[in-house]
Structure 1
Amino acid sequence: MKAGIAAALALVAALGDNEAMAGSGDGNQLITACQTVVKYMDGTKNVDSYDFGYCIGIVEATEGSMIILNDSLPAKLKTCFPEDGITNGQKARIVVKSLQENPAILNQPATYLTMLAFKTAYPCK
């Protein structure tokens, strides 16, 4: 229980302090990488494997962390992911859409931007 609370506090702090996630690249790198995943999902099979892996790694790790910590977070920070899950293609599309709609924040850390994209796509009611 204490570990969950500590992890939740760390997430809350990270949401408020983007510097905590600076090591994961920024939105410029993330949008390029996730566009690669979208192209692959749409049928283009000759894509950059580094970009593909980078996007999937960021979206998978971020979603997993958010799900694990969700129960320990205050209501305003919770994200209500679908119970039947999200495909990697859906995750990439959510991130690309969010970043295209918010180009002014592409300088922010990739993990932070992924959290914002998921929180916007799956708000709790």
Structure 2
Amino acid sequence: MADGNKLLLECQDGINSMSGGVAKNPVGIGHCVGVLQATMDTLDIFHEAGGVPKLVCVPEGGIPMVQSMRVVVQSLEAHPQSLHLNESVLVVSALKNAFPCR
């Protein structure tokens, strides 16, 4: 199931491995990276090609993937009642709260 429960574990593992730890589930880390990147790319496509207002405004030049992971993990840990929701919805919510457009 593509929900926050699985994504939380995968992204926590990604942060650990990118910080010098041993990956427990390399495929899961790849899934976390893929969901985060695909969600950010989709937001950009909707804005650029679809005329949808920008929902997430990361700093100029973007942010490192590990920072995206930390933002998402922090949000998922802070809102355990939402972990049953779709992972992409949770990623958008986390990034939108961390990098609001003004």
TM over 0.5: yes
Residue 14 of structure 2 is matched in structure 1 by 37
Following TM superposition, where does structure 1 have runs of at least 4 consecutive aligned residues deviating by more than 6 angstroms?
none
* Amino-acid identity (%): 34
Supply the distance in 1 between the matched residues of 2:56 and 2:29 (Cα, whole angstroms): 25
Task: Specify the structure having the higher radius of gyration (Cα).
Answer: 1
Residue 61 of structure 2 is matched in structure 1 by 84
Structure with more of its chain in helix, by fraction: 1
What's the CA shift for 1:25? 0.4
What's the CA shift for 1:120? 0.6
Partner secondary structure for residue 123 of structure 1: coil
TM superposition score normalised by structure 2: 0.90
Q: 2:13 is aligned with what amino acid?
A: T
**Long gaps (5+) in structure 2:** none
Residue 109 of structure 1 is matched in structure 2 by 86
Supply the distance in 2 between the matched residues of 1:92 and 1:80 (Cα, whole angstroms): 16
**Long gaps (5+) in structure 1:** 1-23
What's the CA shift for 1:45? 3.0
What's the CA shift for 1:116? 0.5
Contact 1:41 1:89 in 2 (8 A): yes
Pairing partner for 2:2 from 25, 39, 43: 25
